Structure 1
């Protein structure tokens, strides 16, 4: 979780491709979204609407 949090908040494009697994990211998003700041969370959810759906399903 710590690595994902750091990459989501500070990672460059190459870091995203190298360190993030899409299936793990969507599966862990309900927890990860509580660990990152609101602006970062909002940006990721705006770019990837499936994350919002996943978070709503888990709530």
Structure 2
């Protein structure tokens, strides 16, 4: 059994933010593109939990919660790759440096230079 801090352990931590949490490609993200989503308590334990995808402010808020608190299965279930790329220029400003860096390093299409 791996000890705490053992790098051979591949169980993703909710406290760290590493690339092991991410899907292999953005094509794996098949979250809703319309309608309403209710996030589970393990993602949204305080405040708003129901989001209308058609409302950009609510969509960005939901994506922020999922990106900050989610694991791979959450990303696949609640994020859509096309919507993520489309809204990334604004969304990236709402995320912490570690989250933003991890996603942009893993997916070049999210880097600011890709949008230019």
TM-score band by shorter chain is 0.7 to 0.9
Residue 18, structure 1, aligned to residue 77, structure 2: yes
Residue 43, structure 1, aligned to residue 91, structure 2: no
* CA distance, structure 2, for counterparts of residue 34 and residue 20 of structure 1: 17
> How large is the RMSD of aligned CA atoms in angstroms?
0.7
Name the structure where strand makes up a greater proportion of residues: 2
TM-score w.r.t. length of structure 2:
0.46
| Structure showing greater relative contact order (alpha-carbon pairs closer than 8 Å, 6 or more residues apart) | 1
Structure 1 residues without counterparts, runs of 5 or longer: none
- Aligned equivalent of 1:3: 62
| 1:13 Cα deviation from its structure 2 partner | 1.1
- Aligned equivalent of 2:55: none
Name the structure where helix makes up a greater proportion of residues: 1
| 1:32 Cα deviation from its structure 2 partner | 0.2
Deviating beyond 6 angstroms after TM superposition, the runs of 4 or more aligned structure 1 residues are none
Structure 2 residues without counterparts, runs of 5 or longer: 1-59
